[in-house]
């Protein structure tokens, strides 16, 4: 196939659809040129080259490797391609853009997860989508996503970060590259730019969404971010702190699954009813945190030494306290950040047991490199130390002290500038009229819930509550972990965002329904921060039995 430039192909398509053409024929007696079919318009995209000049950040251009008309779930053109790096040693960015035949004149960019490395196709249901709802693509959105600029079979594989361009892509640059390519393809297919462009992401994808608002605010009209790993470097430093608490001193501070569940059950017993009802969900987190010292004291082994799975040793209690406490750094990360918030391990976060697929590992002695039998948080921390910071694959990450990284401190700060989405300067996004919906589960075991609270409070400090109310909605979700937890929520946040952007009607209290099999279909109000759902009487499985309260 002869490779065509995007500009040439645009002119060609516009001409065959509107520049006159052949005179009358037996097949076309009227003499007018029939409009090209969706199949024709789709196939015309295959083999296109998009020049580097069409992409606002440095690349070596993009190539469309395939364009296929798909007739299931609503007809659309599936376009796949690659964005070439500047550094020939860096991997290409693989992307997919889906162009529905019946377009609603909107576009939606999907974010990734973990260390990425897997192509985000844009054809799947959104994270936390209500059961039975159509995908955005089926509803007429042009959708797109990428692999962040490297390819891996595991979202905990950090090897890509040994290359500078690959690391920068993961830090957010791939988002801009893919966005610009997607916009070029949308204009090519429909002879028009979209009226509205949205972003939707969770975890790393949530960080991505905030990065877009901070770095390329003109590109998006509305953004949904869930459990965002926004303070990315702080998160990874806290992973290392957790691992060191578990594994140093011959693993004296390590908690097995039985001890972790013992702790969680004690917290639930102390805190479940503080929101008015014992339902396996802790909603009044502030009151629960006030019980922390009492809970830990009740679990202490009589002598402070480990005497089995019916109690916690002093070293294990110290680990729990380390996980719960904020990490205070003696040096600044990007945007002057010196803190990573603690976890709600003493207020309902789920670190082991039936409501999560993750725990603190199977052994008090970790592998090097960390593997599936080690604490999930340590795996990502270990990969980050090895490939983002030291770039020594055999490095013993337990020797890396986040509070005193020594000669690696400047490298940590460099990586922070590349990867973190902590700037509260959203002035350009506010001026554009952009809207932001942010959610975070109160039982998150992977990304600190309070890291999102810290960011939101930073926005209020910068802009004032009234201005923030005009462009942000922030919701904390009781019982919700990192895609896990005793409450597995379904929330139609994209519709709420779209209505806000299109009509100016800001969302207030939303509703979330439970997708867990044992409690399928129960509902709760999703309250705007800082409020939480308080039981006021009635069926505990119905949202109307709760009201949003602040005390």
> Catalytic residue positions?
203, 444, 482
Angle ∠(360,244,325) on CA atoms, nearest 5: 80
- Contact of 301 with 318, CB cutoff 8 Å: no
Q: Tokens 């645009």 label which residue?
A: 10
Q: Tokens 């994270």 label which residue?
A: 127
* Burial classification of residue 48, based on how many CB atoms lie within 10 Å of its CB (0-12 exposed, 13-18 middle, 19 or more buried): buried
How far is CA 48 from each of CA 4, 22, 61, rounded to the nearest angstrom? Answer: 5, 26, 11
| Coil/strand/helix, residue 375 | coil
Pairing assessment for the beta strands 435-441 and 62-70 based on DSSP bridges? unpaired
User: Edge-to-edge strand order for the sheet containing 76-83?
Assistant: 4-5, 48-50, 62-70, 76-83, 93-100, 142-146, 106-110, 196-202, 222-226, 435-441, 472-477
What span, in angstroms and rounded, lies between the C-alpha atoms of 537 and 542?
Answer: 10
Q: Which residues of 382-402 are buried (b: 16+ CB within 10 A; e: fewer)?
A: bbbbbbbbbeeeebebbebeb
What span, in angstroms and rounded, lies between the C-alpha atoms of 137 and 69?
Answer: 14
- Contact of 498 with 223, CB cutoff 8 Å: no
What span, in angstroms and rounded, lies between the C-alpha atoms of 260 and 270?
Answer: 16
The Cα diameter of the chain in Å comes to: 98
């Amino acid at each position: 196939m002869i490779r065509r430039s995007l500009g040439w192909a645009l002119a060609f398509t516009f001409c065959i659809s509107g520049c006159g053409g052949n005179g009358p024929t037996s097949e076309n007696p009227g003499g007018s040129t029939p409009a090209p079919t969706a199949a024709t318009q789709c196939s015309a995209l295959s083999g296109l080259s998009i020049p580097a000049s069409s992409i606002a950040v440095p690349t070596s251009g993009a190539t469309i490797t395939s364009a296929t008309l798909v007739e299931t779930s609503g007809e659309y053109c599936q376009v796949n391609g690659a964005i070439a790096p500047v550094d020939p040693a860096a991997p290409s960015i693989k992307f997919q853009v889906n162009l529905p035949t019946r377009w609603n004149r909107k576009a939606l960019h999907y974010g990734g997860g973990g260390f990425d490395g897997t192509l985000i196709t844009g054809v799947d249901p959104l994270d936390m989508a209500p059961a039975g709802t159509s995908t955005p693509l089926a509803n007429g959105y042009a959708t797109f996503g990428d692999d962040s600029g490297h390819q891996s079979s595991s979202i905990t594989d950090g090897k890509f970060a040994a290359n500078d361009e690959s690391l920068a892509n993961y830090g957010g640059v791939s988002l801009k590259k893919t966005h610009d390519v997607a916009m070029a393809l949308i204009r090519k297919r429909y002879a028009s730019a979209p009226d509205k462009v949205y972003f939707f992401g969770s975890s790393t994808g949530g960080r991505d969404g905030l990065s877009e608002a901070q770095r390329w605010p003109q590109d998006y009209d509305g953004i949904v971010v869930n459990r965002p790993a926004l303070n990315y470097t702080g998160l990874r430093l806290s992973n290392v702190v957790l691992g060191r608490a578990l594994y140093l001193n011959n693993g004296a501070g390590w908690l097995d699954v039985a001890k972790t569940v013992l702790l969680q059950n004690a917290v639930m017993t102390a805190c479940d009813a503080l929101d008015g009802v014992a339902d396996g969900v802790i909603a009044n987190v502030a009151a629960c945190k006030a019980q922390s010292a009492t809970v830990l004291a009740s679990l202490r082994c009589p002598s402070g030494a480990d005497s089995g799975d019916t109690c916690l040793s002093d070293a294990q209690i110290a680990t729990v306290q380390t996980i719960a406490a904020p990490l205070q750094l003696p040096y600044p990360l990007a945007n002057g950040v010196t803190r990573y918030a603690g976890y709600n391990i003493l207020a309902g976060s789920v670190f082991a047991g039936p409501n999560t697929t993750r725990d603190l590992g199977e052994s008090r002695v970790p592998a090097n490199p960390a593997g599936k039998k080690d604490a999930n948080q340590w795996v990502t921390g270990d990969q980050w130390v090895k490939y983002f910071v030291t770039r020594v694959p055999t490095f013993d990450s337990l020797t890396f002290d986040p509070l005193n990284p020594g000669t690696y401190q400047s490298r940590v700060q460099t990586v922070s500038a590349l990867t973190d989405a902590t700037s509260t300067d959203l002035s350009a996004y506010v001026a554009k009229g952009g809207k932001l919906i942010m959610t975070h589960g109160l039982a998150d075991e992977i990304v600190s819930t309070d890291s999102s609270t810290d960011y939101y409070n930073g926005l209020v400090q910068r802009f004032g509550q009234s201005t923030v109310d005009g462009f942000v909605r922030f919701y904390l979700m009781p019982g919700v972990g990192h895609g896990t937890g005793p409450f597995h929520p379904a929330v139609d946040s994209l519709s709420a965002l779209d209505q806000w952007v299109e009509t100016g009607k800001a969302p207030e209290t939303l509703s979330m329904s439970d997708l867990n099999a044992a409690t399928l279909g129960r509902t709760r109000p999703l309250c705007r921060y800082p409020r939480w759902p308080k039981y006021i009487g009635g069926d505990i499985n119905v949202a109307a039995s709760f009201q949003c309260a602040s005390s």
